[in-house]
Structure 1
Amino acid sequence: MSRIGRLPITIPENVDINYSESEITVKGKFGVLQTKVPNMIHIKQDNNTLSVILKTETRNVRSLHGLYRTLINNMIIGVSEQFQLTLILKGVGYRAAVQGNQIVLNLGYSHPVTIDIPPTISAEIVQNTTINLKSCNKELLGLFASKIRAWRRPEPYKGKGILYKDEQIIRKAGKSGK
């Protein structure tokens, strides 16, 4: 059995969980999330705890045990607290702004880069160089942050680019002169 899959999930008071044979829906104060669950995995709810139980013990099902426990736990945390990611723009002239439902980035290109913000994600700009992203869906939040980051990956020589909040860039020495 999976060590992570065995752990019970505590359910906060303001979260409602509906489970059918193949789908789980989690409702909370920040939104509604749902996902499909394989038939080999059963979910058992007791008072304010949730357990993920295997119906059969095959290698493939055991490999999914911890995964689905973590996915359900992330759904519960997301609808009750929300997830937050912070991106920092490092570089001369790098700026960000929110215009309607788009983020406009000046990243040293000859044109500004505009990226549409998905409806489940909220973006806030602090000091023109810090982007705070919040969402109840951890997967979409990570994908959107990586989409923004793909425009200017951090480079190892000067440390410029779009970085996550506490990310450390390992710097390389440049060319040494004679």
Structure 2
Amino acid sequence: MSRIGKKAVAIPSGATVTLDGQTVTVKGPKGQLSWTVSDEIEIKQEGAELTLSPRNDTARARGMWGLSRTLVNNMVVGVTAGYEETLELVGVGYRAALKGTALSMQLGFSHDVDIPAPAGITFAVPKQTEVKIAGIDKQLVGETAAKIRRIRPPEPYKGKGVRYAGEKVRRKEGKKK
């Protein structure tokens, strides 16, 4: 039995959930998201809660049960509270700035790195060495942050690069004479 799948998804006030067959649509103050649940999962709305259960007892149905519940919960949280990821730029001369809605970063290359904001994502630069990525889709926020980090990941000798806020970089000892 899925421990995550057994939990009901609470629908807060301000969010509305619409079920159309297997398609779940969630509307909230920050926007709207929809997703089609697998046919192996049965979804029911009871008052201010959504419950998911597997239609049959196969390994795939049990696996999709917890996944579907988590994805629906992420949609509900996204349209009500939203998601945010923070990146830090560590290194001499490493800085970020906004050019309209796009993010422009200097990361030690001979050129600036410009990243256009995907649909549904907003960039903010509170400090030159800090980038905040916000949106309602948890997957898109995390994927955008990972793509930016991949441009210049932290290196182990000096720790220079783009890292997640609070990320610990394992440092290596340099050459000895």
For residues 68-97 of structure 1, the C-alpha deviation after alignment (integer angstroms, 9 at most, x for no partner) is 100000000000000110000000000101
For residues 34-78 of structure 1, the C-alpha deviation after alignment (integer angstroms, 9 at most, x for no partner) is 111111111111111111111111111111110010000000000
| Counterpart position of 2:127 | 127
Q: More deviation in 38-47 or 155-164?
A: 38-47
C-alpha distance in 2 between matches for 1:32 and 1:145: 22
Instruction: Write the mapping of 1:14-29 to structure 2, written as runs, cut at 5 A.
Output: 14-29=14-29
Query: Unaligned 5+ residue runs, structure 1?
Result: none
Query: Unaligned 5+ residue runs, structure 2?
Result: none
TM-score, length-normalised on structure 2? 0.97
| Counterpart position of 2:79 | 79
- Measured after TM superposition, the shift of residue 109 of structure 1 is 0.4
C-alpha distance in 1 between matches for 2:98 and 2:85: 16
CA RMSD of aligned residues (A): 0.8
Among the aligned pairs, what percent are the same residue? 41
| Number of positions where the alignment pairs a residue of Structure 1 with one of Structure 2 | 177
- Measured after TM superposition, the shift of residue 20 of structure 1 is 1.7
CA contact (8 A) 1:21 1:39 kept: no
TM-score, length-normalised on structure 1? 0.97
- Measured after TM superposition, the shift of residue 101 of structure 1 is 2.2
Read off the aligned partner of 2:35 and give its amino acid letter: T
- Measured after TM superposition, the shift of residue 149 of structure 1 is 0.8
Q: 1:163 aligned to 2:163? A: yes
Which consecutive segments of 4 or more residues in structure 1 shift more than 4 A?
A: none
C-alpha distance in 1 between matches for 2:138 and 2:127: 25
C-alpha distance in 2 between matches for 1:39 and 1:9: 19
